[in-house]
A and B are shown apart, each in its own frame.
With several copies, the nearest count.
Chain A
Amino acid sequence: MTLATCEDRDTDELRAFRLKAREWMAGRLPPRIPGQPYMDWTDKELVAADRRTQRILWDGGLAGITVPKEYGGLGLTRQHETVFGEEAAPYRLAWHLGNNYNIVQPVLLAHGTEEQKHKYIPRMLNGDHIWAQMTSEPSGGSDLFGLITRAEKRGDKWYINGSKIWTTGGEDSDMGLCLARTDPTLPKHQGLTMFMVEMHQPGMTVRPLTLVNGTQDFCQEFLDDVEASEDNIVGEINGGWAVATTQLAAERSATSRGWYIGVGASLPRERIEIASHPVKLAHELGLAETQRARQIVGEVIALEALRELVAQRASKGIDAGTLPPTTGGVASLASSTLNQRASELMTELAGPCGVTGPADGGEPEQGMDRVWLFRIGGGSAEMLRNTISERHLGLPREPGPGKDVPFNQLRTNAAS
């Protein structure tokens, strides 16, 4: 797929938009640097640069392409968005603001009041606000709707207490979506309310989590009487489950269509890309002539190619409507499993050289892969297997506690 062929399909209107986008971005936007991570919250300069990038797009009339005009967007079509993505391929866009456009805009457009939409959406589009999703809780694990963070109304304010975890970019975010339990006597999925909270306020402590590989992309928040006004409620009181369902659907949809705008424009590849890292490692280690090393290199190349092929198949099939949307999860699981096997093989290839390295280097790479490996982190691989077996394969659900049991009669980690 080349730009020329894309342009051939443009209507006049799309063509005009394409040229406008191309002209504005040229020389103004930072170039896309191969190998630079899409997101790295420890790189504060990169986060700041992304805010500036978003502001440039806003100034050029290129922010919020499909967002209605009344909320500061352009009110244009998905096709315009595709055109924009194609033109943006050479640049780094505001990828740290992904929650804004992937999650929070769809949620507010679906459930927000007019006032909320007017107040918050423009500030997402101009780079003022970075939004966080506070979804998981330390006590909750995979059971998202088993959350125990609670909000109580005292006077005309709501006060939120509890803890959230695995919040991407929590420390650098300005606003966050936060689901809290407002009535524990209702069954688990009821009695929840969705709040918009300011991340920098008294009572909110945000602590970066250091992971086993030293990265700090995720945060934990401790909420101690964090304030929210009635205006900060999205949707109905005790109707948060509906809002959260939109939020999860937005996340799934963004994950399957590509979280980072413009990155996908160069896909799909037309040829199998031969992974170079196992070949390189075999050469470096002097194992190019060893039978087993050659088998390992070949298998790793196969595994890496399979990850790409299965992802392409899923996205092509879902787009064409010949595969159900749940195939996205199947491809994720495949990718995780194939990656794990590749990592095992690379450790075998490197032998002792995979677990030690020069004192001034980083963590030994191959061994670290075995420790770190979690494309689908934590318990979510188990959740994914549940989802695939139930929604993709149509197998029966496990018997569980009835849906109507009041939440405060269920056993949770806080209660036990």
Chain B
Amino acid sequence: MDVVLSENQTLLQQATRRFVEQEHPVVQTRRLADAKAAFPAETWTQCAAQGWVALFVPEQHGGMAGEAEGAVDAAIVAEELGRQVFAGPFASNAVAAFAIANAGSDAQRAQFLPGLASGEMQAAWCFAGTGPQAGLEPGALTVSDNRFSGSAGFVENGANAGLLLVTARDGQGLSQFVIPADHPGVSVEPLRSLDLGRGYATVRFDGVSVDNGALLGQSGAPGGNFERQLQLALVLQCAETIGLIDRAFEFTLEWVRQRHAFGRPIGSFQALKHRLADHTAEFEAAKAAVAYAAKAVHSSASDAAIAVSIAKSQCGKQGVEIIRDCVQMHGGIGLTWEHDLHFYLRRAVANQSLLGTPAMHHERIAALAGL
């Protein structure tokens, strides 16, 4: 995260690290993967009790948004979760809470926010299509006369969420709805993912009819709400990747210092040292970009849109590149199922490809730059 944190943020960072290391270390993700099991609902409730989703929920609805620095604090949490390849549904619930807190009616806020903050309610964010170029642009779903159809792809937490935050295109623009996942016409098809332990799904909407109470904000809005949600989702994804790199790099440094070959620690071999120096430089750039993006998103700065895409470009590319080389530096042991590294690399590859590949973000940056 940023190089200057407030006292509260430092406390948040330390508390989260301690909690995740003790209660939800990477072995939890390994166990879920081995058992091919979903992240247990009651475990999420324990996590939510740490106040992670509550960062976006106003106090009258059981949250602490008043004291928090929203996206920045959430990014601090996401980074810590990345360090242990945490499998639980943080981003999906955080984005939903953020959306409802910002655009929801009083009734919606009262109905959903307390449950999201406490973790008893879980949400998923449905917006993208199902193809190879999906993940960044909304509008895979269409809506007219409060009835919508289509398939949303790559939905994190899609199979476990009770609540769906759905973005659909109508005649004028984008409309958003909050509907229960067991609504008639909704079907969920779980996906197998490279990112073991974390659940993704395709969610299909077959002429799903909703009443006006489900509408979040205005109908056919110009998409500003969606864009802000996307920015938050990207900040959390990138911060998580920072955590992945941070931890993988940490134990790689430890490994090359302790492991000996030819009578020397392998970390004294110049070829390894130079690669590690290069990774340090790229990683520093990634950290700079994510810290900047988190602040820009929190403050709704005019460059928030471009900032998140810059962060995604660097984290997407370097997350995979650095962790892949960490595996290489571990020698054969890094390729065994027993070693944790592949969980880090799997998550990094997934994060590279989901919510827009780096190349897609480059196109987005060009458009934002007026090309």
Do A and B interact with each other, yes or no?
A: yes
Does A9 touch B at the CB level, under 8 Å?
Answer: no
From B49-57, B219-227, B239-247, B299-307, give the one contacting chain A.
B299-307
A351 touches which of B270, B324, B353 (Cβ 8 Å): B353
CA distance A378 to B370 in the complex (A): 37
Q: Residue B103 at the A interface, CB < 8 A? A: no
**Which residues of chain A (292-310) have a CB below 8 Å from chain B?**
292, 294-299, 301-302, 305-307, 309-310
Digitize B324-345: 1 where CB-to-A-CB distance is under 8 Å, 0 elsewhere.
Answer: 1000111111111110001001
Closest to A389 in B: B273
Would you call A393 an interface residue if the criterion is a C-beta within 8 Å of the partner chain's C-beta atoms? yes
> Which chain A residues border B233 with CB–CB below 8 Å?
none
Q: B124 to nearest A CB, angstroms?
A: 14
Which chain A residues numbered 312 to 357 have a C-beta less than 8 Å away from chain B?
A: 312-314, 316-317, 320, 322-323, 327, 330-331, 333-334, 337-338, 347-357
Among listed B16-24, B70-78, B283-291, interface-contacting one: B283-291
CA distance A356 to B189 in the complex (A): 12
Residues of A within 8 A of B189 (CB): 359
Which of A214, A371, A394, A397 has the largest count of B CB atoms less than 10 A from its CB?
A371
As a 0/1 sequence over residues 1 to 29 of chain B, the CB contacts with chain A under 8 angstroms (1 = contact) are 00110000000000000000000000000
By the criterion CB–CB under 8 Å, are B362 and A302 in contact? Answer: yes
| Size bracket, chain B contacts | 35 or more
Q: Which residues of B contact A307 (CB under 8 A)?
A: 285
- A212, A287, A333 interface centre (most CB from chain B within 10 Å): A212
- Please tell me if the beta carbons of A348 and B285 are within 8 angstroms of each other in the complex: no
Known: A309-B292, A398-B270. A356 touches B192 (CB 8 A): yes
Are A279 and B332 in touch, CB under 8 angstroms?
A: no
| Contact across chains for B303 and A272 when beta carbons are under 8 A apart | yes
Instruction: Confirm or deny: A27 has a beta carbon within 8 angstroms of a beta carbon on chain B.
Output: no
Whether B336 lies near A412 (C-beta < 8 A) is: no
CA distance A141 to B258 in the complex (A): 13
Q: Pick the interface stretch among A55-63, A116-124, A239-247, A360-368.
A: A360-368
* Partner-contacting stretch, out of B79-87, B88-96, B129-137: B129-137
Query: B133, B257, B364: which has the most chain A beta carbons within 10 Å?
Result: B133
Contact with A along B32-55 (1 / 0, CB 8 A): 000000000000000000000000
C-alpha gap A74/B337 in the complex (Å): 44
Q: Which of A28-36, A258-266, A380-388 contacts B (4 or more CB under 8 A)?
A: A380-388
Which residues from A are CB-within-8-Å of B266? 141, 379
B278 touches A309 (CB 8 A): no
Judge whether B288 and A310 touch: CB under 8 Å.
yes
| CB of B143 closer than 8 Å to a CB of A | no
A402-416 interface mask toward B, CB cutoff 8 Å, 1 = contact, 0 = none? Answer: 000100001111001
**Which of chain A's residues have a CB closer than 8 A to the CB of B276?**
389, 393, 395
Q: Which residue of B lies closest to A283 (CB)?
A: B371
Contact call B190/A382, Cβ cutoff below 8 A: no
* Contact indicator per residue, chain B 350-364, by CB within 8 Å of chain A (1) or not (0): 101110011111111
Contact A302 B365 (CB under 8 A): yes
Evaluate contact between B263 and A400: CB separation under 8 angstroms: yes
Determine the distance from Cα of A359 to Cα of B189 in the docked complex, in whole angstroms: 8
Contacts A354-B353, A367-B346, A373-B324: A306 and B285 contacting too (C-beta < 8 A)?
Answer: yes
Would you call B366 and A393 a contact (CB within 8 A)? no
Cross-chain contact B284 with A271 (CB below 8 angstroms): no
- Contact call A337/B278, Cβ cutoff below 8 A: yes
A395 in contact with B257 (CB, 8 Å): yes
Q: Please state if A313 and B291 are interface contacts (CB–CB under 8 Å).
A: yes
Docked-complex contact B260 and A413, CB < 8 angstroms: yes
Asked whether, in the complex, the Cβ of B3 is within 8 Å of the Cβ of A302, the reply is: no
Write the chain A residue with the least CB distance to B268: A396
Evaluate contact between A330 and B335: CB separation under 8 angstroms. no
Contact A367 B277 (CB under 8 A): no
Contact (Cβ within 8 A) B192 A142: no
Nearest-neighbour CB distance to chain B for A303, whole angstroms, equals 8
| Interface membership of B253, Cβ < 8 A | yes
Q: Known contacts being A165-B332, A279-B370, is A396 close to B288, with CB within 8 Å?
A: no
Chain A residues whose C-beta falls within 8 Å of the C-beta of B345 in the assembled complex: 370-371
**Would A400 and B264 be within 8 Å (CB), given that A331-B284, A378-B334, A395-B256 are in contact?**
yes
Partner of A298, one of B3, B273, B282, B362: B362
Contacts A146-B263, A298-B364 given; does A398 touch B268 at CB 8 Å: yes
B135–A396 contact, CB under 8 A? no
Interface residue ranges, B against A (CB under 8 Å): 3-4, 128, 131-135, 153-154, 189-195, 200, 253, 256-274, 276-278, 280-282, 284-285, 287-289, 291-292, 301-303, 306-307, 309-310, 313-314, 320, 324, 328-338, 342, 345-346, 349-350, 352-354, 357-371
